[in-house]
């Protein structure tokens, strides 16, 4: 008998990423380590028939992980399917979205339990309770129902980083291989972030706590990947790799010892010439940088970014990286509450300035996504945002949402303008002759960016979105075969 099926719905409609679904593999590894029979369903690769086949084996429970946004559509479809197939199979909902809105999610009749926050220890104790028939009230970190009443158990304390399980097992190894083969293998060295950006889910999900994995544990577990797969690059997918030189050196040395190139995320104000040199010499080839805005007012007064010198810190970071082999992936947001059109122009001008001195740069202009529970979300409500109440409404809160049309236009125009080099997203998603399908829209995006003409994009955008969606489905089929 299957004890638990862990499911990962398609995360976005038009961004066919293939990194391993760590949000289900970490709790799955914890269950497997304790002898439970776990199966996985990743909707990016697995046909829905696989889920139906697994459901025929009457699993004890089905867990689904989801972020706020498009992924909720698939989460609902999976859990409703479970209940239609066998109402006695328990559904467990985890991930960022249910962790922030547990009571709201529990009002759905297709959800039996919500796991709040870090899920490994909680899912283990919950499955143990389900299998033994013991009392759910003894399991910290869950919401559940009793006689139609929603019960909130005591919060779960964070795990010690020494106890984090290694996420890959024999059962999940095939999914990690897909990522390794495509150059999208990822593995974190820490969890959480101590900073207080007013738009970020970390305020609630990780309570502004940053927890580092010991460097020797990180190195030992990275070695397992190196011994299992053939790959040359890894993404250390921390929210913040570190804010002191000692920690950064430890992780850099661990990766360099295997001869890998790597990428990670870091705050602009933590990058100076010395740190840039350390990262460059270790083989770091890309840094994800949360710029957010070219306006000091937005950075300091609205989103509380915490850059001591505001935009000047961003410029210093770009100047330091411009003298290395590291590519910067500079991420901006558009549609931030109270943001003016001139402040959007400041962001675009800052991107152009960065590109001049750091030609390896690429840029993302994401639409502001009002994540529930954050301080900036409350500000958006005051400015007239209609508060979502259903899965369908929350599913529209994506990084390409249409709440601000200019933001959505910039999302696609910027992506097509800056992410088309060899090995970048566009070339991976449209390989070979398929590149001709998207090429006219890349040319248009270059012209639009040069002319700063971001209006009247509706028709082009509709075709681009359809092509990205097609590429996502096509790549999933290719990867499975």
Instruction: Quote the pLDDT of residue 420.
Output: 82
Instruction: Quote the pLDDT of residue 476.
Output: 54
Instruction: Quote the pLDDT of residue 378.
Output: 87
Instruction: Quote the pLDDT of residue 478.
Output: 44
Q: What are phi and psi of 384, to 5 degrees?
A: 115, 0
> Strands of 38-42's sheet, edge to edge?
38-42, 4-8, 61-65, 90-94, 113-115, 142-146, 149-152
Instruction: Quote the pLDDT of residue 474.
Output: 56
Instruction: Quote the pLDDT of residue 202.
Output: 83
pTM for the whole structure: 0.91
Instruction: Quote the pLDDT of residue 16.
Output: 59
Query: Taking CA 15 as the corner, what is the angle to CA 9 and CA 18, rounded to the nearest 5 degrees?
Result: 65
52 close to 59: Cβ distance less than 8 angstroms: no
375 close to 203: Cβ distance less than 8 angstroms: yes
Q: Quick one: tokens of 34?
A: 């304790």
**How many alpha carbons lie under 13 Å from residue 54 in its C-beta half-sphere?**
27
Residue 414's alpha-carbon distances to 189, 305, 348, 436, in angstroms, are: 30, 23, 10, 19
pLDDT means over runs of 10, the chain (481 residues): 96 78 98 98 94 96 95 96 96 96 95 96 97 92 93 95 97 96 93 91 85 96 97 94 92 96 96 96 96 97 95 97 95 94 97 94 91 86 85 82 85 91 80 92 96 94 89 57 45
Distance from C-alpha of 147 to C-alpha of 153, rounded to nearest angstrom: 16
């Amino acid at each position: 008998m299957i004890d638990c099926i862990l499911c990962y719905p398609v995360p976005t409609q038009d961004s066919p990423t293939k990194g391993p679904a760590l949000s289900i593999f970490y709790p799955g590894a914890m269950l497997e380590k304790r002898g439970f029979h776990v199966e996985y369903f990743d909707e990016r690769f697995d046909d829905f028939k696989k889920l139906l086949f697994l459901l025929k084996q009457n699993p004890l429970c089905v867990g689904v992980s989801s972020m706020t946004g498009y992924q909720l559509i698939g989460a609902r479809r999976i859990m409703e399917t479970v209940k239609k197939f066998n109402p006695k199979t328990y559904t467990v909902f985890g991930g960022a979205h249910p962790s922030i809105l547990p009571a709201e999610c529990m009002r759905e009749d297709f959800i039996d339990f919500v796991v709040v926050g870090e899920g490994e220890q909680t899912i283990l104790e919950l499955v143990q309770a389900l299998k033994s028939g013991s009392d759910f009230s003894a399991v910290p970190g869950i919401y559940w129902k009793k006689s139609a009443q929603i019960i909130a158990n005591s919060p779960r304390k964070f795990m010690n980083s020494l106890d984090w399980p290694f996420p890959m097992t024999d059962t999940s190894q095939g999914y990690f291989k897909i990522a390794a083969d495509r150059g999208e293998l990822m593995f974190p060295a820490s969890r959480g972030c101590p900073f207080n950006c007013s738009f970020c889910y970390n305020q609630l999900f990780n309570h502004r706590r940053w927890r580092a994995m010991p460097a020797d544990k990180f190195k030992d577990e990275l070695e397992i990947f190196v011994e299992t797969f053939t790959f040359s690059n890894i993404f250390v997918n921390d929210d913040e790799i570190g804010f002191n030189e000692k920690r950064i050196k430890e992780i850099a040395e661990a990766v360099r010892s295997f001869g890998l190139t790597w990428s990670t995320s870091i705050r602009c104000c933590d990058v100076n010439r010395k740190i840039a040199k350390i990262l460059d010499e270790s083989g770091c080839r890309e840094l994800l940088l949360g710029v957010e805005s070219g306006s000091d007012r937005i950075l300091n007064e609205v989103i509380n970014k915490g850059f001591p010198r505001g935009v000047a810190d961003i410029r210093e970071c770009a100047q330091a990286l411009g003298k290395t082999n590291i590519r910067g992936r500079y991420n901006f947001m558009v549609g931030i509450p109270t943001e003016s059109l001139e402040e959007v122009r400041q962001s675009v001008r800052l991107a152009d300035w960065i590109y001049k001195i750091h030609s390896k740069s690429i840029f993302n202009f994401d639409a502001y996504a009002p994540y529930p529970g954050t301080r900036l979300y409350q500000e958006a409500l005051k400015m007239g945002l209609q508060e979502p109440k259903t899965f369908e409404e929350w599913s529209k809160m994506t990084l390409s949402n249409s709440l601000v049309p200019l933001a959505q236009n910039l999302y696609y125009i910027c992506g097509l303008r800056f992410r088309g080099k060899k090995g970048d997203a566009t070339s991976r998603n449209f390989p070979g002759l398929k590149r001709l399908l998207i090429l006219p829209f890349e040319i248009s995006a270059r012209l639009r960016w040069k002319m700063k003409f971001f209006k009247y994009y509706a028709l082009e955008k509709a075709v681009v979105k359809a092509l990205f969606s097609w590429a996502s489905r096509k790549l999933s089929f290719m990867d499975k075969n």
